[in-house]
Structure 1
Amino acid sequence: MRTAFIRSLMEVASQDPRIVLLTGDLGFAVLDEFRAKYPAQFYNVGVAEQNLAGVATGLALAGHVVFTYSIGNFPTLRCLEQLRNDVCYHNADVKIVTVGGGLSYGTLGVSHFATEDLAILRALPNVTVVAPGDPSEVAQLVPQIVGRPGPVYLRLGRAGEKVVHAPGVEVVLGRPTRARAGSNVLLLTAGGMLPVALEAADLLEDDELDAEVVSVHTLKPLDTEEICALAARFPVVVTCEEHSAIGGLGGAVAEVLLEAGIAPTFRRFALSPGFPAGVGSQEYLRKVNALDAPALQALVLSLTGTRRSAGPRFAARQSG
Structure 2
Amino acid sequence: MSIMEKTLDIKKATRAAFGDEILKLGKENKDIYVVDADIAKSCKTINFAKELPDQHINVGIAEQNAAGIAAGLATTGKIPFVSTYAVFGSLRMAEQIRQEACYPMLNVKIACSHGGLTPANDGGSHQAIEDMGVYRSMPNMTVIMGSDYYSTRKLVEQAAKIYGPVYLRFTRGDIPVIYDENEEFTIGKAKKLNEGKDLAIIANGDTVHLALEATRLLEKEGVSVKLLDMHTIKPIDREAVLECLEVGRLITVEDHNILNGLGSAVCEVAAEEGKGKVRRIGVQDQFGESAPYEKLLELNGITVENIINTANELLI
Aligned-partner Cα distance in 2 for 1:272–1:162: 24
Whether the aligned pair in 2 keeps the contact of 1:22 and 1:45 (CA below 8 Å) is: yes
- 1:230 deviates by 3.3
- 1:42 deviates by 0.7
**Which position in structure 1 is the counterpart of 2:276?**
264
- Structure 1 residues 283, 241: closer, same or farther in 2, change over 3 A? same
1:263-305 Cα offsets, whole Å, 9 max, x none, are 22211111222324x4212111011221111111111111112
Matched, 1:149 2:154: no
TM-score with structure 2 setting the length: 0.91
Whether the aligned pair in 1 keeps the contact of 2:86 and 2:169 (CA below 8 Å) is: no
Whether the aligned pair in 1 keeps the contact of 2:82 and 2:109 (CA below 8 Å) is: yes
Q: How do 1:184-263 and structure 2 match up within 5 A?
A: 184-232=198-246, 234-261=247-274, 263=275
1:243-280 Cα offsets, whole Å, 9 max, x none, are 1111111111111122123x22211111222324x421
Whether the aligned pair in 1 keeps the contact of 2:283 and 2:302 (CA below 8 Å) is: yes
Aligned-partner Cα distance in 1 for 2:305–2:242: 27
**Which position in structure 2 is the counterpart of 1:283?**
294
Which amino acid counterpart does residue 248 of structure 1 have in structure 2?
A: G
1:103-131 Cα offsets, whole Å, 9 max, x none, are 01121111111111111100111111111
**Which position in structure 2 is the counterpart of 1:18?**
31
Aligned-partner Cα distance in 2 for 1:247–1:53: 23
Size of the aligned set, in residue pairs, is 302
- Structure 1 residues 225, 202: closer, same or farther in 2, change over 3 A? closer
Aligned-partner Cα distance in 1 for 2:186–2:211: 20
**Which position in structure 1 is the counterpart of 2:106?**
92
**Structure of greater Rg:** 1
**Which position in structure 2 is the counterpart of 1:65?**
79
- 1:166 deviates by 5.2
Which amino acid counterpart does residue 28 of structure 1 have in structure 2?
A: K
Whether the aligned pair in 1 keeps the contact of 2:119 and 2:173 (CA below 8 Å) is: no
- 1:84 deviates by 1.1
Which amino acid counterpart does residue 273 of structure 1 have in structure 2?
A: D
- 1:182 deviates by 2.9
From 24, 48, 53, the counterpart of 1:39: 53
Aligned-partner Cα distance in 2 for 1:218–1:122: 10
1:105-164 Cα offsets, whole Å, 9 max, x none, are 121111111111111100111111111111111111112101111100001111322211
Which amino acid counterpart does residue 40 of structure 2 have in structure 1?
A: G
What SS does structure 2 have at the residue aligned with 1:86? helix
- Structure 1 residues 38, 113: closer, same or farther in 2, change over 3 A? same
Which amino acid counterpart does residue 185 of structure 2 have in structure 1?
A: V
Structure 2: any 5+ residue segments left out of the alignment? 1-13
Structure 1: any 5+ residue segments left out of the alignment? 306-320
Superposition RMSD on alpha carbons, in Å? Answer: 1.5
Aligned-partner Cα distance in 2 for 1:73–1:231: 33
Aligned-partner Cα distance in 1 for 2:98–2:180: 38
Aligned-partner Cα distance in 2 for 1:296–1:213: 12
Aligned-partner Cα distance in 1 for 2:156–2:255: 22
Aligned-partner Cα distance in 1 for 2:212–2:315: 18
Whether the aligned pair in 2 keeps the contact of 1:106 and 1:113 (CA below 8 Å) is: yes
Aligned-partner Cα distance in 1 for 2:103–2:181: 39
Aligned-partner Cα distance in 1 for 2:173–2:213: 19
